[in-house]
Chains A and B, each alone.
Chain A
Amino acid sequence: MNALLEVDDLRVYYGKVEGLHRASLRVPEGSIVTVIGPNGAGKTTLLGAIMGLLPSAGSARYAGADLAGTKTEARVGLGLSLVPERRELFGEMSVEDNLRLGAFHRFRKRGVDLESELTAIYARFPRLEERRAQLAATLSGGERQMLALGRALMARPRLLLLDEPSLGLAPRIVRDIFRIITELKKTGVSILLVEQNARAALQVADYGYVLETGEIVLEGEAAGLASNPRVIETYLGLAGKVIAT
């Protein structure tokens, strides 16, 4: 069976500098796949290229169709949704307007019942309902991440791309976020999760890739990766040493 997302030999250049070097990966329908790696390895670049925010060479196929020449806005229409590292919320607009706008592309096709969908999102993120009339810019870091996730879900994605959802959040909120990610998988959404927090990412994921300096250097079942000596040394190394002592 073909995977929902198939990326082959994807390359991105910044001027003459290569930001991503022949990356290939698969996201099967209904699974969580994670890409881990250090700062500056090209993880955000990878998601930007899949989403069409950055020009790239190589091929990215979604649900069997080539994405080349499809603009970001149109990819959203196809069912890809990105929660970016910088969240990119509409800061001077209310929480509720942010959420409604998440459904923009579906609204355009034909009127959708936004109200019932909003209710569903609020059920998942009760904090957002409390803050529905507040401006997005006034939210705390955790709430902003919730809003970014909620906004992406309003688009009813088939494939959700998450860029460092745990970034800058306190451990308790990180746990919440990862719980929500596993719940989403149960609703049938496929997820490509980019994380620096390798341990947490490998715990929720089915399959993982390790990206270093623009290249996929390792891949495998998440559980296998978590016990791979090289991954332990580089990404879980500290934990390994702590456990050893």
Chain B
Amino acid sequence: MRERTALALFVALLAAAPLALPEFYVTLLNYIGLATLVSVGLVLLTGVAGVMSFGQQVFAGLAAYSTAVLTTRYGISPWITLAAGLALTAAVALFLGAITLRLSGHFLPLSTIAWGIAVYFLFGNMELLGKHTGIADIPPISLFGWRLDTGREICVLIWVLTLAALVAARNLLDSRAGRAIRALRFRSVMAESFGVNTAALKNLVFLYAALLAGLSGWLYAHFLRFVSPGAFNVNAGIDYLFMAVVGGAGQVWGAVIGASLLTVLREWLKDILPKLVGFSGNYEIVVFGVLMIMLLHRTRDGLAPALARLAIAAKVRASPSPAPSLEKRRQPQPGETLLEARAARKQFGGLVAVRDLSFETQSGEILGLIGPNGAGKSTMFNLITGVLGSDGGEIRFRGERIDRFPPSEIARRGICRTFQHVNLISAMSVIENVAIGAHLRGRRGTLDAMLRSDRAEEAQLLYEAALQLERVGLAEHLHETAGSLPLAQQRLVEIARALSADPILLLLDEPAAGLRYGEKKVLAELLRRLRAEGMSILLVEHDMEFVMGLVDRLVVMDFGEKLAQGLPREIQADPAVVEAYLGGIE
């Protein structure tokens, strides 16, 4: 494995660095490590989970000031103050996360800037924190009696922790929780519908990023032995985000690249720019700003992906080896009533999209819900899956009312869906996409993932995903990226993902839309086979031709209402249905 070799080489070089390099470079290396710690958190938070923060310096500052005050005033050991600082950071992060992470898009970064300024002025004006002069004479860290009081000594500690953070982050992304995190940015609706609590997960990532920033702040305080507000101003927060973006916000190792480049560039510019301008000031921000704009005009993915393409060839992976099967649900008896809609209703403003619709599905059948475009089929689908809240009536599943449940609770009960607009994480491999479907069948969380104590369960999840992919006929494509498959195969991946959740009722949202004739036949064949294996299916479709030969019963919708219901051939002969579908103009 070439990645492991590269890593070993990197570690060896790092280990040699504090011994061999002159003081100046060791200091630089320390700054890089400290910045990397913060940017690893941002890579997860911004690059992967899509939550942009310009406020990470706040968390670094909280931990740095905590340890500064506690060690200088009360003589407490830095290891205890580390715990205290991280606890404070965590408390603040949980509070801020709880109130801001649910806000959409631009609100969050704006509010991170705002609290960044608020806290900066707080640091600069509190008597306890030494106002703008800061706090000096912070004691060094002692490790088993060894005082880390030079840059060379603390360099070891900084980089051991930084590497640990990098490895933990990489492990995390390659796990059950990690797959869910990778869905947060573009696919949170999908993740919710497979039982991921996206809000809680976002908070967790936010917390992790904050703790890494806090750790960096603690190290910073004991490395410089001095803290002042200047190190934690808004510009520091902007720099951290730039580092993550330069490195490639989706790549864990990008954090090292970004942090190194910007730190080194800054030192170099600090040397030469004042000579050009004639007096000193932090002009490097001009260069940073311009470089950033140019970089984003050229690529929005940062440098790491380009470097990765140069350095590490794509890994060839084998199919996952057989693992003990995951626990399965007891399937209902054939003929049992599964889903019942009773006078379900949904309004958008004055428009009634679904008007008092009632129908039911039975175990072991394929029920088709059809209607012309705009008839309200998708709205009905969203009511059943909990994506929309209903405005009246009831929806029950095996007798239990589910119309007040969020999508994750509905998924928990065994209703699993596909999406009309294919909802796969296109940069992730097919098998990982399918494994998200089995999210609720696993238990292991983020900590297990970071420490790799989740491997047995991970093997089970991936094996299950591979089995389901084989079932839909995609055994050859396990490790391709989902986005590289043609539409028809992406639709099959969607079905495999729903199957790996071990569903009781499979909900398919226009699975045949956009497929070629031959592809539709393959799809119909698969659905027949699933029914023969006992699967119950609710099929929402527009395509009459596709539905007619496949389903057991049909419900036809038009203008939000039930137009007809019955066997396929009854529907075909129904004049009202013909009028709705053809709407002739004579």
Question: Which residue numbers of A lie inside 8 Å of B, CB to CB?
Answer: 15-17, 38-42, 164, 166-168, 170-171, 174-175, 178, 196-197, 199-200, 203-204, 212-213, 234, 236-239, 241-242, 245
| B486, B544, B559: the one within 8 Å of A17 (CB) | B486
* Contact status of A238 and B487, CB under 8 A, knowing A39-B542, A196-B373, A245-B573: no
- Residues of chain B within 8 A of A42, CB atoms compared: 514
Residues of chain B within 8 A of A174, CB atoms compared: 583, 585
Contact B513 A40 (CB under 8 A): yes
* A172 → chain B closest CB, angstroms: 10
Q: Least Cβ distance of A202 to chain B in Å? A: 10
Closest to B490 in A: A17
Given that A213-B515, A234-B545 are contacting pairs, would A178 and B483 also be in contact in the complex, using a CB cutoff of 8 Å?
A: no
Residue with the greatest number of chain A CB neighbours at <10 A, chosen from B490, B510, B516: B516
- Does B579 sit at the interface, judged by CB under 8 A? yes
Contact status A203-B582, CB under 8 Å? no
Contact in complex: A178, B581 (CB < 8 Å):
no
Whether A200 lies near B585 (C-beta < 8 A) is: yes
| Residue B22 lies at the interface, judged by CB distance under 8 Å to chain A | no
Provide the residues of chain A in CB contact with B513, threshold 8 Å.
38-40
The residue on A at minimum CB distance from B374 is A168
Are the C-beta atoms of B585 and A238 separated by less than 8 Å? no
Beyond A204-B585, A237-B545, A242-B573, 14 extra complex contacts between A and B, CB < 8 Å: A15-B483, A16-B484, A17-B490, A39-B542, A40-B513, A174-B583, A199-B584, A200-B583, A200-B585, A212-B516, A234-B545, A238-B578, A239-B578, A241-B573
Q: How far is the CB of B560 from chain A (nearest CB, A)?
A: 11
Judge whether B484 and A203 touch: CB under 8 Å. no
CB of B476 closer than 8 Å to a CB of A = no
Residue of A42, A175, A213 with most partner-chain B CB within 10 A = A213
What B residues does A41 contact at CB under 8 A? 514
Determine the residue in chain B with the shortest Cβ distance to A173: B583
**Which chain B residues lie closer than 8 Å to A239 at the CB level?**
578, 582, 584
Q: Is B399 an interface residue (CB 8 A)?
A: no
Q: Is the CB of A199 within 8 A of B582?
A: yes
Cβ 8 A contact of A238, one of B426, B514, B517, B581: B581
CB distance from A181 to the nearest CB of B (A): 10
- Whether B514 pairs with A197 at a CB distance below 8 angstroms is no
> How long is the Cα–Cα vector from A83 to B53 in the complex, in angstroms?
40
Residues from chain B with Cβ under 8 Å of A170 in the complex:
559
A-B Cβ contacts below 8 A, count: 76
Residue of B nearest to A14 (CB): B487
In the A-B complex, the 4 residue pairs with the smallest Cβ-Cβ separation, listed nearest first, are: A40-B514, A168-B374, A40-B513, A213-B516
Chain B residues with CB under 8 A of A17: 486-487, 490
A200 touches B584 (CB 8 A): yes
Residue numbers in A under 8 Å from B510 (CB-CB): 39-40
A-B contact pairs, 10 of them (CB 8 A): A39-B373, A39-B543, A42-B514, A164-B373, A171-B583, A178-B585, A197-B583, A234-B545, A238-B544, A241-B572
A42 to B516, CA, bound (A): 12
**A236-B582 contact in complex given A17-B486, A39-B513, A245-B573, C-beta closer than 8 Å:** yes
Inter-subunit contact B578/A242 (CB<8 Å):
yes
Contact of B373 with A168 in the complex, beta carbons under 8 Å:
yes
User: Measured between alpha carbons, how far is A151 from B126 in the docked complex, in Å?
Assistant: 61
A199, A212, A238 — most chain B CB neighbours (10 Å): A238
Contacts of B145 in A (CB 8 A): none
Q: How far is the CB of A195 from chain B (nearest CB, A)?
A: 10
Q: Give CA–CA (A41, B579) in the complex, Å.
A: 23
User: Are A15's CB and B515's CB within 8 A?
Assistant: no
**B510 → A minimal CB distance (Å):** 7
Q: Which residues of the partner chain B approach A200 to less than 8 Å between Cβ atoms? A: 582-585
CA–CA, A234 to B582, complex, Å? 12
Chain A residues in 8 Å Cβ range of B585: 174-175, 178, 199-200, 203-204
B281 close to A (CB within 8 Å): no
Answer whether residue B586 sits at the interface, using C-beta atoms and an 8 A cutoff: yes
Q: A15-B426, A16-B483, A41-B514 are in contact. Are A242 and B575 (CB under 8 A)?
A: yes
**Chain B residues positioned under 8 Å from A178 (CB to CB):** 585
CB <8 Å contact, A39 and B514:
yes
Interface centre among A40, A164, A200, A237 (most CB of B within 10 A): A40
Closest beta carbon of chain B to A22's beta carbon, Å: 15
* B583: chain A residues within 8 A (beta carbon): 166, 171, 174, 197, 200
Residues of A within 8 A of B582 (CB): 197, 199-200, 236, 238-239
**0/1 interface trace, chain B 472-512, chain A, CB 8 Å (1 if under):** 00000000000110110010000000000000000000100
Q: How far is the CA of A46 from the CA of B178 in the complex (A)?
A: 39
A39-B542, A178-B585 as given contacts; A213 in contact with B573, CB under 8 Å:
no
Residues of chain B in range 538-572 having any CB-CB distance to chain A below 8 Å: 542-545, 559, 572
B517 close to A212 (CB less than 8 A): yes
Q: A16-B483, A200-B585, A238-B578 are in contact. Are A213 and B514 (CB under 8 A)?
A: yes
Assembled-state Cα–Cα distance A17/B516 (Å): 14
Question: Are B543 and A38 touching (Cβ within 8 A)?
Answer: yes
- Tell me the complex Cα distance, A175–B582, Å: 12
Most buried by A among B484, B545, B577, B582: B582
Contacts of B573 in A (CB 8 A): 241-242, 245
A237 to B572, CA, bound (A): 10
CB neighbours of A171 from chain B (8 A) = 579, 583-584
A134 to chain B, nearest CB (A): 13
Contact with A along B511-549 (1 / 0, CB 8 A): 001111101000000000000000000000011110000
Q: Which residues of A contact B426 (CB under 8 A)?
A: 15
Q: Which residue of A lies closest to B546 (CB)?
A: A38
CB proximity of A225 to chain B, nearest CB, Å? 15
Report the minimal beta-carbon distance from B456 to chain A, rounded to whole angstroms: 35
Q: A residues within 8 A CB of B487?
A: 17
Give Cα A201 to B123, complex, Å: 70
| A166, closest chain B residue (CB) | B583
Once bound together, how far apart are the Cα atoms of A205 and B486, in whole Å? 33
**Inside 8 A of A38's CB, which chain B residues have their CB?**
513, 542-543
Q: Once the chains are docked, how many angstroms separate the CA of A213 from the CA of B516?
A: 6
**Which residues of chain B come closer than 8 Å to A164, judged between CB atoms?**
373
Q: Which residues of A contact B584 (CB under 8 A)?
A: 171, 199-200, 239
**Distance, CA A208 to CA B35, complexed state (A):** 63
